[in-house]
């Protein structure tokens, strides 16, 4: 079974974020980057399927030169080869354009299964997987916490609200958005890091497929939350102050 895993590189969680001069996105000048954690769970799910059923895992990523590090990390953990779609991807990346580029690579590879993380830690659109499925005309499912291979395709367990689960069956090929926490993440071993240096990574120019779709949205402004401290003194008798406090806890803080 050939499994294609989409991985994204996002700003490191410990990074200090600053808005750029235009106010349209964060200043990426001196940021440190890391692999998007939900995508790490998608990779883990792919590697687990490979260990159980055999096959090949291919890691694919869209972006500038720096995303090669995310691909190499996937190779060090056990992916067999990588695909780097070279494209400038500013302002967090439009999910439609990203999905379109990934779909072109997927059509070239003809995988049995495509795995993505549920969403990205930076923009958090949560749309790349389902958009890929639509572009490729494939069945898809999201919020998946368990994947089993069957004679007819896949049997999936999907997480719902309130601690409930839904069981689905999908034919192959299919696109699945994996829920974070599907299994424990593995670390790259020293031997895996050494082997990653010899594994092939294909570099594809995004422009080779022609112009992508027009962005589905435009960011107008990005800003950091304002931190303000406000103190209100309640006046009146003890009974009146208590009544006012209860009213504010119910009407404003919504804790009662």
The CB density around residue 71, as the number of other CB atoms within 10 Å, is: 25
Residue 138: predicted pLDDT:
97
d(CA 120, CA 32): 16
C-alpha 210, offset from chain centre: 25
Domain boundaries, the chain: 2-209
Residue 179: predicted pLDDT:
93
Residue 24: predicted pLDDT:
79
Read off the pTM. Answer: 0.83
Residue 218: predicted pLDDT:
75
Residue 101: predicted pLDDT:
94
Long-range CB pairs of 26-34 (<8 Å, 24+ gap) are 26/222, 33/9, 33/66, 33/69, 33/70, 34/9, 34/10, 34/70
CA neighbor of 131 nearest in space, from 170, 85, 100: 100
d(CA 166, CA 236): 55
Residue ranges of the chain whose pLDDT lies below 50: none
Residue 168: predicted pLDDT:
94
Pick the CATH number of 2-209 from 3.30.300.130, 3.40.50.620, 3.20.20.120, 3.40.190.10: 3.40.50.620
Residue 90: predicted pLDDT:
52
């Amino acid at each position: 079974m050939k499994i294609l895993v989409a991985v994204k590189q996002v700003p490191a969680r410990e990074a200090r974020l600053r808005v750029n001069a235009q106010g349209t996105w964060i200043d990426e000048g001196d940021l440190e980057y890391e692999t998007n954690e939900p995508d790490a769970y998608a990779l883990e799910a792919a590697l687990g399927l490979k260990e159980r059923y055999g096959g090949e895992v291919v890691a694919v990523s869209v972006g500038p030169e720096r995303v090669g590090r995310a691909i190499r990390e996937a190779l060090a953990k056990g992916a067999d080869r990588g695909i780097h779609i070279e494209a400038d991807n500013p302002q967090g990346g439009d999910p439609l354009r990203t999905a379109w580029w990934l779909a072109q690579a997927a059509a070239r590879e003809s995988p049995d299964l495509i795995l993505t993380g549920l969403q990205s830690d930076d923009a958090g659109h949560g749309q790349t997987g389902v958009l890929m499925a639509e572009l490729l005309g494939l069945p898809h499912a999201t919020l998946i916490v368990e994947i089993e291979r069957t004679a007819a395709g896949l049997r999936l367990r999907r997480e719902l609200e309130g601690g409930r689960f839904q069981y689905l069956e999908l034919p192959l090929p299919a696109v699945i958005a994996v829920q974070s926490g599907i299994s424990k993440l593995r670390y790259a071993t020293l031997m895996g890091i050494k082997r990653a240096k010899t594994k092939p990574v294909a570099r594809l120019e995004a422009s080779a497929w022609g112009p992508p779709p027009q962005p589905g949205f435009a960011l107008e402004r990005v800003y950091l939350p304002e931190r303000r401290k406000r103190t209100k003194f309640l006046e009146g008798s003890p009974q009146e102050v208590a009544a006012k406090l209860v009213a504010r806890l119910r009407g404003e803080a919504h804790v009662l």
